[in-house]
Amino acid sequence: EDVEQTCAYIKSSKKVFTHGMSPDEFLMVAEKIVSKTCSFVQVKLAVIKLLVSGLFEDQAVFSILVLGTAQSIEVVSDAAETAMKKMDIQTSVDNRVIVDELMASYLGIVTPTKPVIGKATVVFPVSTAMKQKILQYLTRSTVAPVAYMNNMKVCLEGLAHTSRTDSKLLIAALNFLVKVIEKMPAAAQKNFGPLLFDRVQKIQESEVKNGVALSLMYRCLGILGKRDSAILTGQADTIGHTFKSIAEAPEDVAYAVVDCLTQWLDGFRKLKDVALMEKLKALIQEFITH
């Protein structure tokens, strides 16, 4: 019934999300492949079986199987997971073509290796669960962290998921962001460092309570501030809030806060902002006396 309703919406030009597919592609699968005697689940299982039959190289099917592992139907995700165990994961995630395909699925854009079927020129981004899986594989890649500009788009999109229900996606995005920051060339650091610092800092101001997410947030802030001390100029309020967080945060997060401030120390010494330095002295003195 859901499939029929989605098809009806597409035909009537109503907006409907067909995650990772164009509307035309969804219609083609629904009307030409799925039948009354063959469910979507059966089709997905048959596709996975075909993909690992030996007819295709790993490069051609890897990104599709990644999406399969995030299926909400356990029998499908298990089949995809089993199929991927037969692959060389590291070689696959270090392949730029595969990285581009995974990022394209995440963002809802088209790549030359995965053209859209039908009249549509765009596809919808994949589901939250699929985005989380994609990020896990991008984080394992040595190529993805420096695959500009989509790496930045993926990070910025991931940082926006600050609701409690999206905590796993936020954690996955922050883990990937750590890799991106650590491998960021000097020119990219200069161009994107302040923007990333600002976006990550907004997590500090949000309602995020997950300890892992907060620890990763402080790790990102620490690395960014250490690599470019100029970012810390004009950040007196953020620095003050960070000092206060040591006492207020849970123990595991507090360690991350201290590590963040420690990474900022060298940067503090290089700053020529007199007002900020006076503020820092007051903060440090207050912290020591309490």
Question: In this predicted model, what pLDDT tens digit does every residue of 102-123 receive, in sequence order?
Answer: 999 999 988 888 777 767 667 8
Question: In this predicted model, what pLDDT tens digit does every residue of 231-244 receive, in sequence order?
Answer: 888 787 888 888 88
Mean pLDDT of the chain: 89
> Mean pLDDT lowest for which of 65-69, 202-206, 212-216?
202-206
pTM exceeds 0.85: yes
Confidence of residue 77 (pLDDT cuts 50, 70, 90): very high
> Mean pLDDT lowest for which of 122-131, 179-188, 189-198?
122-131
Whether residue 256 lies inside any domain: the answer is yes
Helical (H) or strand (E) element with 131: helix 128-140
Q: How is residue 67 annotated by DSSP?
A: H
CA 54 to chain centre: 31
Q: How is residue 229 annotated by DSSP?
A: G
- 111 dihedral zone (left: phi>0; alpha: psi -120 to 50; beta): beta
| Highest-confidence segment of 46-55, 114-123, 145-154 | 145-154
pLDDT of residue 35: 65
Whether residue 258 lies inside any domain: the answer is yes
Kindly tell me if the per-residue pLDDT of 92 is higher than 90. yes
Q: How is residue 16 annotated by DSSP?
A: -
Here the tokens at position 131 are 């985005």
Kindly tell me if the per-residue pLDDT of 91 is higher than 80. yes
Number of domains in the chain: 1
Whether residue 251 lies inside any domain: the answer is yes
β-bridge mates for residue 114, sequence order: 111
Whether residue 257 lies inside any domain: the answer is yes
Whether residue 268 lies inside any domain: the answer is yes
| Highest-confidence segment of 39-53, 209-223, 257-271 | 209-223
Cβ proximity of 257 and 218 under 8 Å: yes
Residue range(s) defining the domain that contains residue 251 = 205-289
Cβ proximity of 249 and 204 under 8 Å: no
- Mean pLDDT of all residues in 149-175: 95
Whether residue 264 lies inside any domain: the answer is yes
Whether residue 218 lies inside any domain: the answer is yes
